[in-house]
Structure 1
Amino acid sequence: MSKQEQVVVAVSGLTKGYSQGGANVAVLNGLKMSIRRGESVAILGVSGTGKSTLLNILGGIDPADSGQMSVEGQDIVKLDAEGLARYRREKVGFIFQFYNLIPTLTAVENVMTGWEAAGKPSNLGDKAARDILASLGLRDKLDRFPEQLSGGEQQRVAIARALVKRPAIVLADEPTGNLDPKTAAATTELLLEQARQFASALIIVTHNPSIGQHTDRTLVLRNGVLEEQQHAASAPEAYAA
């Protein structure tokens, strides 16, 4: 098996529930999934189905109640707090609907925070940040502050910050939710292109079925499990926010 075909994320029997009104409400119910290196997956589902919960578990933010989860062969379930913090810094890139850029830092400096958090050599951070921003079409915006950038440009900076450390897994939660349709489509394509280039496993959680037209696979979260879907855009009303 080539490096590109290796399974990066392997999940099986994942369960998660919450206490509500004295009863335990199951959100994830024996969920399983696997994602290869360089593969992109869109996860669709209506509000409240557990998409963000799944993302938080994959990102080492929240624990599962039971089940198995490994990333690049590392058993994430068994990590202690220190191990989870290291896992998030080194192996996970997060992209959110709200860009969460530091307003007092330039585009390059914002991207460098992702590089430095991963423990990469500080003397190489500036070049790495400039290179990835240039590849995302921001060569002339490197030293601008977030308030001087459009929404689409800010999200590209956020994408660069998540990807600059070349993470094993990239988790994107409604990454184009604040963008107009044209900008959203262009930004999605740039995200997919960069994730493939860095051979990161990309998971995009979204209400927007059109995202699935761009990713390698589309999964739908229903009743706590994931179902494969071939044509995500065929019934967009099922996933409206």
Structure 2
Amino acid sequence: MRSGVHPTQAVVAALLLAIATASILAEETSGTTDDGAMQAARSEPAAAPGQDNTEGPMEEMVVEGMGPLGPDDVRDLVFINQIYNAHSEAGRLYSQGRYKEAFPYLLEAAQQGFKTSQFRLAYLYRRGLGAPFDPIAAIGWLGAAARGNSTPEMKRVYRDIWARVPPERQQEFMAIVDEYVAQYGNDVTRTSCRMTRKAGTYVKRMTCQFDDERLYADYETLLGDLSPDTAPPAPLPE
């Protein structure tokens, strides 16, 4: 994604490194995620600053079958199902602490505006778990997750970090977040996220859906309205 890092971003990276050393995200990420797996991750050792403790893919994943998509590009049903599957697999692997395996799935879903995946991806970058230690990517993904409709936990973690940013560095800090939102926000990825209750419980969780999904839902409804025992048309005269 970031082919070139601005000099000012290097300053922000140093600031975020200091924040990371204070383990802000490690101590602030329990509660409203789907499975509370952030708590389990606390016991994992963080990578040393600048150390890449994984040989996994970097932020260059491209979803198979489609090129880069813009806000005016309708997502087809195959693509939509692929992202839902990636988001689901990411959650399964993440909850098991298999961060290196979860990383590419988290990235795939995060790039399509799925906020829980964005939030978890930020945590992996912040801790160097299954991904290279990257404080700029961490704050970019965290900001994208916290922007707009989000969970109270995501917003709280973001506010806690923002409170530690010196006023003279806030503009640079915000530029990183804006860059990620401009590429992976809900308006660009044609997704909508909201808090929903898990069936049969009072537990709320973040749910994200593609806006284009309704196009296919309407079509399936139309097909479902066709009676299966409709009389066949009369044969054509010979």
User: Which protein has greater RCO, CA pairs closer than 8 Å, 6+ apart?
Assistant: 1
Larger strand fraction of residues: 1
**Which of the two has higher C-alpha Rg?**
2
User: TM-score normalised to the size of structure 2?
Assistant: 0.27
User: TM-score normalised to the size of structure 1?
Assistant: 0.27
Larger helix fraction of residues: 2
